[in-house]
Amino acid sequence: MVTSALLPRTDGFPPVREDLFAKVRHAIPAPEWPVYAADIDAILKLKAERNAVILAHNYQTPEIYYCVADLVGDSLALAREAMKIEADVIVLAGVHFMAETAKLLNPDKKVLMPDLAAGCSLAESITPEDVRTLRQRHPGVPIVTYVNTSAAVKAESDICCTSGNARKVVESLGVPKVIMIPDEYLARNIAAETGVEIITWAGHCEVHERFEPSDIAELREAHPGITVLAHPECPPDVVAASDFSGSTAAIADYVGKNRPQSVALLTECSMSDNIAIQYPELEFVRPCNLCPHMKRITLKNIRHSLETLQHEVTIDPATAARARLSVERMLAV
């Protein structure tokens, strides 16, 4: 839970929340801070008035991640935390499928997205009809669906997974063959780890598909001894050339436990910003890519969302009931 003392000013300007600036001063230039502080101050007050919590994904910018979020994490952690929420309103600082997952697990709460256009190239890559066709083509083969999908696609699936539990979910099924959709690279990375035959789909993350093995070769040449950590949405040859691959939370844990002197995170740019704040003594080399969807969320639209209680995420009840089963099966593994 974010707590902050409000430091009163006597010069007529809005409060500057210097306690919060201390957390992000390595990421935000001091002259810009008063602009952020005004929105942060308003958001913290609105959260209390609305009995709201803000769930923020690890790809959110530091002023959201460190200054207004109540809970932060990877997709799996956000889903797990969503189950325990007692507030009336949940604001999802992340992308649409994450808000839908929070809504599936909290059907009676108001779940808000600051910008409904914050989507995901993976979620866009597959429709419920595609899933039904796959099931017809491969009768009896279980369908494991990455959470980066719409509720309607989850509703056609047997079980969900995230990058944090994909291996465990596939192994829990105890079968030699599964369908894993829609991320081709995640599926191929999990097939290599588990030995399970995986039928996949040609969906890709527009952020992670851009990394190439040559990026890693160049990093190692320019920074001898560097540790390279890759998200499993990266192509398999990139994952194979890295030192470790895992979900955004697993990457953060790896840095915390191993404290590599020099490290590159092959994932979204805000990951490095957020982790570097915790470990200023480590060198973060940043060949990162921005996720345009995650970057649609700003302090301004979070504030607007809390002021107006927009934009509410709704899911057709019949679809939600089936999609919830897939998510709950995953959380039970």
Token couple for 303: 């504030």
Q: How many Å apart are CA 261 and CA 284, to the nearest integer?
A: 9
Chain positions 219 to 238 lying near ligand 13P, rule: CB under 6 A, are 231, 233
**Binding span for ligand SF4 by CB under 6 A among 117-125, 135-143, 171-179, 319-327:** 117-125
Q: Please report, to the nearest 10 degrees, the dihedral formed by the alpha carbons of residues 290, 291, 297, 298 taken in order.
A: 0
Examine residue 186 and tell whether it contacts ligand 13P (CB under 6 A).
Answer: no
Write down the least CB distance from residue 8 to ligand SF4, Å. 40
Question: Which partner, ligand 13P, ligand SF4, none, binds residue 272 by CB below 5 to 8 Å per kind?
Answer: none
Q: How many CB atoms are located within 10 Å of the residue 316 CB?
A: 11
Does position 148 bind ligand 13P by CB under 6 A? yes
Angstrom distance (rounded) from CA 312 to CA 305 = 9
User: Going edge to edge, which strands form the sheet with 110-112?
Assistant: 71-73, 52-57, 89-93, 110-112
Q: Which one among 71, 78, 155, 205 touches ligand SF4, defined by CB under 6 A?
A: 205
| Pattern 11-40, ligand SF4, x by CB under 6 A | ------------------------------
Q: Which is nearer to ligand 13P, 76 or 143 (CB)?
A: 76
Query: Could you give the CA distance from residue 67 to residue 61 in angstroms, rounded to a whole number?
Result: 10
By CB under 6 A, is residue 163 in contact with ligand 13P?
A: yes
**Roughly what angle, to the nearest 10 degrees, separates helices 75-82 and 96-105?**
30
81 near ligand 13P, judged by CB under 6 A: no
How far apart are alpha carbons 281 and 265 in whole angstroms?
16
Torsion sign over Cα 325, 172, 71, 284: negative
Residue appearing with tokens 């007692």: 86
Least distance (Å) between residue 288 CB and ligand SF4: 11
> Strands (DSSP E) along 187-285, which ranges?
197-199, 227-230, 244-245, 262-266, 283-285
C-beta of 209: minimal distance to ligand SF4 in Å?
Answer: 9
If the CB atoms of residues 44 and 294 are measured against ligand SF4, the closer one turns out to be: 294
One residue of 40, 43, 95, 263 binding ligand SF4 per CB under 6 A: 95
Shortest Å distance, C-beta 24 to ligand 13P: 21
Q: 61 vs 148, which CB is nearer to ligand SF4?
A: 148
- Residue from 92, 249, 291, 297 touching ligand SF4 (CB under 6 A): that is 291
Residue pair 112/311 in contact (Cβ under 8 Å)? The answer is: yes
Q: What is the β-pairing status of strands 244-245 and 159-161?
A: unpaired
Residue where the block lists tokens 């740019």 = 269
206 part of the interface to ligand SF4, by CB under 6 A: yes
| Rounded Cα–Cα distance for residues 315 and 312 (Å) | 10
Nearer to ligand SF4, 57 or 311 (CB): 57
Q: Which stretch binds ligand 13P (CB under 6 A): 14-22, 29-37, 40-48, 158-166?
A: 158-166
Query: Does 96 help bind ligand SF4 (rule: CB under 6 A)?
Result: no
Q: How many residues form the binding site for ligand SF4 (CB under 6 A)? A: 13
Q: Which stretch binds ligand 13P (CB under 6 A): 39-47, 73-81, 103-111, 186-194?
A: 73-81
The full DSSP string for 254-279 is HHHHH--SEEEEESBHHHHHHHHHH-
Residue ranges binding ligand 13P (CB under 6 A): 58, 74-76, 148, 162-164, 205, 231, 233, 247-248
Residue ranges binding ligand SF4 (CB under 6 A): 95, 120-122, 148, 205-207, 233, 268, 291, 293-294
